[in-house]
């Protein structure tokens, strides 16, 4: 069964790979591994987003599997984040550090603060460490007081939280002042924080964020989300991000479920169902998902994280609409594609970053870098195991 295969993959491939990247000398985990050598660069920059995602991964792996070694990995990562990633003078999490823990890029980004909340919340659940929960709330309060304007969340700041250009989360030739991507991951972080602590103030922010998705991000005429915006939520480019749409659909459904709010379930469900159906109709080719469509031109690369989110998104779509058995078959077909083309079968590797439409991997893309992490594929494993679909 697919569930058994994925559990075996998690235990025997993903977990050992990331455990082997532990930096026992300087703390944290090595931040880079190139395609050819499969040897970690021990002096590479250490991304703070990467470390938040690793902390989230090992925390959830422990919560699911109860192996004490996984909690040890999570604690190792937590100590690095606590001791090095936080700016004790100005507040918040840096963007990246040198290999030995000194600030490298000291800018602050709302996306980065959110991912650390996500990780700290999961670590609190796994460890019971109340200091982790306290730090999560420090970042929550920072986002809510220093990363906002009168319309929503701003994005990028200097270390002293002065506004700066958002080049870290802008792509496709635009410079966005607000992005769907950052809003999605603030929502994801707050969902996890609410799940582990049931703070009603956080619940209210989740509802407020969902209203922004529905009113500003979602384009019902095109059955998709817009991606990049100016300060007033005017869209900047004709872009359909397939991976983000399928990811958003299940993450919002998850947030509604965690909230237990029937009103918001009724309010958001038509949007999440529409996003899922449109991705199935326009982006899924029977076995895998293209990357995106810009100004009517499809980017056919098969990117690792998009494939992982597709598995979860279609399983979630089936759970919400059991008559849509084609979604369940799509999830199964996507996993078969991942096994055949995305998994790097070389000893000492994990997943390719991307392959072309013929399944040929890009040798220019590293196996590990600040954005290439155990978050999407690890989460795919967790979600499939927990949901246990009958395929």
In the chain the domains, ranked by start, together with CATH numbers, are: 2-387 (1.50.10.10)
The pLDDT of residue 82 is 98
Please check the confidence at residue 391 and state whether its pLDDT lies above 80.
no
End-to-end CA separation in angstroms for the chain: 6
What is the pLDDT confidence band of residue 31, given thresholds at 50, 70 and 90? very high
Please check the confidence at residue 365 and state whether its pLDDT lies above 80.
yes
What is the pLDDT confidence band of residue 389, given thresholds at 50, 70 and 90? confident
The pLDDT of residue 162 is 98
| 389 compared with 56, residue with greater pLDDT | 56
Q: What is the mean pLDDT of the chain?
A: 97
* Widest pairwise Cα distance in the chain: 55
The pLDDT of residue 23 is 98
A 10 A CB-CB count for 175 gives: 12
Question: Minimal CA–CA distance to 372: which of 44, 63, 9?
Answer: 44
Structure confidence by residue, pLDDT tens digits, 351-363: 999 999 999 999 9
Q: Which residues does residue 329 pair with via DSSP β-bridges, in sequence order?
A: none
Q: Which residues does residue 354 pair with via DSSP β-bridges, in sequence order?
A: 303
Mean pLDDT of 276-280: 98
Please check the confidence at residue 223 and state whether its pLDDT lies above 90.
yes
**Which sign does the torsion angle of CA 206, 383, 124, 107 carry?**
negative
Please check the confidence at residue 54 and state whether its pLDDT lies above 90.
yes
Q: How many CA atoms lie within 13 A of 257 on its CB side?
A: 12
The pLDDT of residue 35 is 98
Whether 300 contacts 356, CB under 8 Å: yes
- Model pTM? 0.98
Please check the confidence at residue 52 and state whether its pLDDT lies above 90.
yes
Instruction: List, as own/partner pairs, every contact residues 291-296 make where C-beta atoms lie below 8 angstroms and the sequence separation is at least 24, other chains included.
Output: 291/242, 291/243, 291/354, 292/239, 292/240, 292/241, 292/242, 292/243, 293/239, 293/240, 293/242, 294/172, 294/237, 294/238, 294/239, 294/240, 295/237, 295/238, 295/239, 296/238
Please check the confidence at residue 390 and state whether its pLDDT lies above 80.
no
Mean pLDDT of 249-271: 98
Mean pLDDT of 130-153: 98
Mean pLDDT of 63-80: 98
For residue 85, give the DSSP letter: I
| 391 compared with 368, residue with greater pLDDT | 368
The pLDDT of residue 255 is 98
What is the pLDDT confidence band of residue 1, given thresholds at 50, 70 and 90? confident
The pLDDT of residue 105 is 98
């Amino acid at each position: 069964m697919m569930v058994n295969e994925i559990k075996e993959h998690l235990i025997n491939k993903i977990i050992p790979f990331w455990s082997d990247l532990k930096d026992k000398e300087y703390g944290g985990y090595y931040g880079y591994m190139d395609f050819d050598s499969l040897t970690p660069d021990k002096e590479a920059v250490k991304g703070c987003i990467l470390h938040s995602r690793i902390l989230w991964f090992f925390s959830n792996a422990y919560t699911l599997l109860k192996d004490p070694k996984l909690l040890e990995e999570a604690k190792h990562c937590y100590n690095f984040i606590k001791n090095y990633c936080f700016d004790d003078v100005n507040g918040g999490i840096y963007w990246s550090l040198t290999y030995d823990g000194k600030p490298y890029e000291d800018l602050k980004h709302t996306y980065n603060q959110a991912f650390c909340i996500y990780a700290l919340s999961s670590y609190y659940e796994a460890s019971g460490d109340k200091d982790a929960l306290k730090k999560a709330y420090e970042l929550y309060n920072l986002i809510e007081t220093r990363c906002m304007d009168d319309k929503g969340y701003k994005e990028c700041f200097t270390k002293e939280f002065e506004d700066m250009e958002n080049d870290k989360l802008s792509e496709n030739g635009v410079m966005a002042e607000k992005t769907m991507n950052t809003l999605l991951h603030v929502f994801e972080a707050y969902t996890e924080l609410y799940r582990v602590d049931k703070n009603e103030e956080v619940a209210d922010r989740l509802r407020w964020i969902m209203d922004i998705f529905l009113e500003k991000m979602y384009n019902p005429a095109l059955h998709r989300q817009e991606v990049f915006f100016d300060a007033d939520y005017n869209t900047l480019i004709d872009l359909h991000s397939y991976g983000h749409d399928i990811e958003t659909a299940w993450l919002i459904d998850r947030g509604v479920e965690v909230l237990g709010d029937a009103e918001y379930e009724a309010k958001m469900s038509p949007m999440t169902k529409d996003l899922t159906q449109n991705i199935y109709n326009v982006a899924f080719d029977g076995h895998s998902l293209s990357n995106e469509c810009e100004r009517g031109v499809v980017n056919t690369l098969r990117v690792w994280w998009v494939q992982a989110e597709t598995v979860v998104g279609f399983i979630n779509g089936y759970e919400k609409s059991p008559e849509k058995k084609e979604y369940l078959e799509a999830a199964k077909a996507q996993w078969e594609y991942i096994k055949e083309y995305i998994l790097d079968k070389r000893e000492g590797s994990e997943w390719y970053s991307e392959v072309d439409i013929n399944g040929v991997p890009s040798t220019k893309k590293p196996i590990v870098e600040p954005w290439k992490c155990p978050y999407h594929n690890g989460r795919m494993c967790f979600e499939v195991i927990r949901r246990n679909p009958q395929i």
